[in-house]
Amino acid sequence: MSMRGFAFALVLFAAPAAAQFASSTQDYLGEFDRDGDGRISLGEYQDKLSDAFLQMDANRNGVVDLDEFDPAVVGPNTRPISLVRHRARLGEVFKRQDANRNGYLDARELGAPPR
């Protein structure tokens, strides 16, 4: 799996996994909305979707090294990824999800399939 694939896998699988535990769209929004203002900022989005990254970074060096990946997802093109790069990629996804371009995601935008 390429690093691009890995980054998208984190985004694609982390968000639906959170949705499994939310009983409503508002609950799902609440999982991301750390300041309680009813909308998701870029920072909130990056923080929530970086939880899996932080769990994978066993040595806490800010990089998911090859030996920290699940062996099932490691392929010939797999490369280590830094938290900085991971958050940048999440920022790219966030911008595509922000359909009305207001700098925030509402429940509808958050719940929409990634663009």
Q: State the DSSP string of 60-99.
A: -SSEE-GGGS-GGG--TT---EEHHHHHHHHHHHHHHH-T
At 18 the pLDDT is: 46
Q: What is the pLDDT of residues 13-48, one digit of tens each?
A: 455 444 444 557 778 788 999 999 999 999 999 999
Listed by start position, the domains of the chain span: 3-111
Q: What is the pLDDT of residue 16?
A: 45
Tens digit of pLDDT for each residue in 49-104? 999 999 999 999 999 999 999 999 899 999 999 999 999 999 999 999 999 999 99
Fold type of domain 3-111: Recoverin; domain 1 (1.10.238)
Q: Report the distance separating Cα 3 and Cα 21, nearest Å.
A: 27
pLDDT number for residue 30: 87
